[in-house]
Amino acid sequence: MWKGRFQTDTASLLKEYSESVSFDWRLYRHDIAGSIAHAAALTKAGLITEIERAEIEAGLRQIEGEIARGEFEFQRDLEDIHMNIEATLTKRIGAAGAKLHTARSRNDQVALDLRLYLREETGALQKNVRGLQKALVRLARRHQEVTLPGYTHLQRAQPVLFAHHALAYVEMFERDHARLADGLKRINIMPLGSGAIAGSTIVLDRAFVAAQLGFDGVTQNSMDAVSDRDFACELLATLAIVGMHLSRLCEDLILWASAEFGFATISDAYTTGSSLMPQKKNPDVAELTRGKTGRLYGNLFSLLTMLKGLPMTYNRDMQEDKEPVFDSVDTAKAALEIVAAMLDETRINASATQAASADPALLATDLADYLVRKGVPFRQAHEMVGKAVHAAAEAGVGLDKLTLAQYQSISEAYGEDVFGVFDLEKAAQSRQGTGAPSPQNVEAQLKCWEALEGSLKNQKNDAPANCF
């Protein structure tokens, strides 16, 4: 590439150190698509003939097929996917291939390829997020009537419907889906035509190329265009949040699948055994997913750290952007897919969750609300219920087993109807505020999210608006 300036061959050690084709080969389809569009722009500008353009496209399509079939021989001496394709094309078709790089630099070429790749993968990730949401909705529907304790500080707090708990994760992943969609706006701007740093004196129709490649617009500053990797940072940040949400979901499943909780049973197909202990059934999918979140975090910080000290514009450090990007995309897609599959083969053990939900202490806040409705200020009500909890603990009984006399020794506001507070079904029915887990609210939300079943046919992949 630079033999005119250099009189000594590049050291073999440097060639080995600097090559990237061992990992950036996966950009081949995007590189070829960009080159075909660039060739069309060169033709439009009168820089190559239509015959030459056709030769270039045919040659590139042949190379594309060979790479797809595993028949293409990559040369590490040629450094990257861009030069491997260009050199092979030129060797096969001659002068027309040598004209392809007119008014183009590898700086804007790789920026283009990465955007095309991330645009495609963002769509795939959105589908994976939708797939997981659907699995959560199906799990919620299968166990719609099941009640379990909700926890704060990992201590029993208040009873909720399991479906409400599952739908909380559906909403988490909806925000991830929205972040992916929003980031796509910044990915889908075309940098090609920016050259190495300052464009080119050979002016091509950038809007024409952008239209050929399906971009929404073109970059407006050539220096920023070749040095910008914000769009990749943004995607990796979104995937780190996806990983965090997956990890929280998996932590719940790990706890629930333990003998101490016994709330969930994960299928044998998505668990493993022990090489020593025959009785073990380990939630490996959930544990691995929880662990892989660290990779998603690490990839984000690797990219941010690589970029933080770079002067304008392109620097070779930026070759280090691809491996963390590729790894985060692969990791997130795999995790979303396997967790969805695991959920489809997970059963919630209603008897265990119902037994835990039957703890009358879970309705202590309802007891305070009972006193508030009788005119007691909430802070006083809170104290009065706290005294009842203490009395029950001292007596070794549940709140529902205290006598009326014991309640009234605390406050005369407690009446004979106090024991109705401990009806779990009525307690659930009473939680009717927007976003609360009454059976009616949960049913409405389930129906709303079930509309996602047809959403993949919608190009925008939008969630039903009335879910919010």
Whether 226 shows a pLDDT value over 60: the answer reads: yes
* Distance from the Cα of residue 332 to its chain's centroid: 6
From 1.10.3720.10, 3.30.750.24, 1.20.200.10, 1.20.120.420, which CATH number describes the 107-356 domain? 1.20.200.10
The C-alpha atoms of residue 212 and residue 189 are separated, in whole angstroms, by 13
Q: What is the pLDDT of residues 96-111, one digit of tens each?
A: 999 999 999 999 999 9
Band of the pLDDT at 235, cuts 50, 70, 90?
very high
What's the half-sphere exposure (Cβ side, CA atoms, 13 Å) at 309?
Answer: 4
Task: Say if CB 409 and CB 418 are below 8 A apart.
Answer: no
> Quick check: 141 pLDDT over 60?
yes
Q: Annotated catalytic, 274?
A: yes
What is the per-residue pLDDT across 176-197, written as a single tens digit (0 to 9) for each?
A: 999 999 999 999 999 999 999 9
Beta bridge partners of 190: 218
pLDDT tens digits along 270-307: 999 989 998 999 999 999 999 999 999 999 999 999 99
Question: For the whole prediction, is pTM greater than 0.75?
Answer: yes
Which pLDDT belongs to residue 466? 66
Exposed, middle or buried, 137 (CB in 10 Å: 0-12/13-18/19+)? buried
pLDDT reading at 453 higher than 80: no
* pLDDT confidence of residue 9: 80
List CB contacts of 424: < 8 A, sequence separation 6 or more: 147, 159, 357, 358, 363
Catalytic annotation, pick one of 35, 274, 357, 382: 274
User: Cα–Cα distance between 238 and 133 in angstroms, integer?
Assistant: 16
Q: CA–CA separation, 445 vs 453, rounded Å?
A: 14
Q: What does the block give as tokens for 425?
A: 């079904």
Share of the chain above pLDDT 70, in %: 96
In the predicted structure, residue 420 carries a pLDDT above the cut 90 = yes
Q: Is 165 annotated as catalytic?
A: no
pLDDT (tens digit, 9 = 90+) per residue, 356-398? 999 999 999 999 999 999 999 999 999 999 999 999 999 999 9
CB atoms within 10 A of CB 9: 10
CATH number of 359-429: 1.10.40.30
Burial 315-352 (b: 16+ CB within 10 A, else e): eeebbebbbbbbbbbebbbebbebbbbbbbebebbbeb
Every domain of the chain and the residues it spans: 12-102, 107-356, 359-429
Which whole-number Å values give the CA distances from 113 to 144, 356, 430, in the listed order?
A: 46, 54, 55
* Measured distance CA(108)–CA(31) in Å, rounded: 11
Give pLDDT, residue 456: 47
- Choosing from 18, 153, 275, 438, the catalytic residue is 153
- Alpha helix (H) residue ranges in 143-161: none
Taking all residues of the chain, what is their mean pLDDT, rounded to a whole number? 95
Contact 216, 185 (CB under 8 A): yes
* The CATH number of the domain covering residues in 12-102: 1.10.275.10
Residue 219 class from Cβ within 10 Å (0-12 exposed, 13-18 middle, 19+ buried)? buried
